Amino acid sequence: MHRQRVVLVTGANQGIGLQIAKELAAKSFTVLVGSRDFARGEAAAKTIEGDARALQLDVTDKASIAAAAKRIREELGRLDVLVNNAAISNTSKRPGQSVEDYAKLTRASNVSLDEVRAVWETNVFGALAVYQAMLPLLREAKEARIVNVSSGAGSLTRCADPAYPYRAIFGPVYPASKTALNAMSLAMAIELGSTGIKVNACSPGFTKTNLNGYAGTETVEQGAREAVRLALLGPDGPTGTFSHATLGTLPW
Ligand code: NAP
């Protein structure tokens, strides 16, 4: 059996996922760098100090998920941490179009259902499908952890408050996909409540990455912080929470 703890980070070829991978490799994890494009995963793995291995994984592709789980079982025998990080913000925002203009074109009344489906396919169903495929491997670990990288933009409590500054951009595509991911996180935590497996969701904060055209204000180090903390939770740590590195617990 492989000695080092093993973590799979989905969408780890760039951005916050790559930073999470780097930090867990520095903590002596064997890191599986999930990437839908294997070559980009390999290039990313080369930038990580420690045991980092590229793993082809498209979270919307059943065969890719099954092949990834098979490889992990054969090569490593178990998974200690799963970080569901892969996500997309849209498929149809035009270059240069503001977030506010995109939000106006994607209200509940006028959004293309294809756009909603495409984003939810990655952010919600992708995370759930990876959870289902990896759970048998997580059950092989002594005290596995699951971290779902969500967003404060998905908090219904915050967005229901008329004073919340980002309420205007809450819509059915990305923000609601993160609300649904939060629901999946809680469902997973409840399912696994009697096991040693802890499931928590986090918000990275507005981070400078490809997802937002590098408009974010936080560094990837800041964005990765809470996910890394939750990946390393000890046996007394919580399960079924939603949190941010400096804001603490966030309302669902
Ligand atoms: P990013 O740099 O765009 O990274 C997203 C990653 O997800 C990329 O590696 C991307 O792969 C991957 N991905 C997309 N679709 C995939 C699929 N079908 N299968 C596998 N991988 C897929 O964005 P990021 O900001 O680091 O995002 C990381 C997480 O943080 C996401 O869950 C995001 O929602 C969350 N988040 C980010 C912010 C922010 O301000 N940046 C705020 C709140 C939450 P490719 O390189 O192939 O596209």
Spans in the chain with pLDDT lower than 70? none
Q: Residue 93 catalytic?
A: no
Ligand 1 centroid–CA 85 distance in Å is 6
pLDDT for 196: 95
**Does residue 88 line the site of ligand 1, with CB under 6 A?**
yes
pLDDT for 158: 97
pLDDT for 2: 87
pLDDT for 98: 86
**Integer Cα distance of 212 and 197 in angstroms:** 32
Atom of ligand 1 nearest to the CA of 37: 47
pTM score above 0.95: yes
Strands 81-84 and 242-244: unpaired
Ligand 1 centroid–CA 249 distance in Å is 22
Q: Residue 166 catalytic?
A: no
Which residue of 9, 65, 85, 122 sits with most ligand 1 atoms within 8 Å of its CB, as the best mutation to test the pocket?
85
DSSP assignments along 110-151, one per residue: T--HHHHHHHHIIIIIIHHHHHHHHHHHHTTSSS-EEEEE--
Which one is catalytic: 93, 178, 198, 208? 178
pLDDT for 92: 87
Which residue of 8, 10, 16 sits with most ligand 1 atoms within 8 Å of its CB, as the best mutation to test the pocket?
16
Domains identified in the chain and CATH numbers = 6-249 (3.40.50.720)
pLDDT for 100: 86
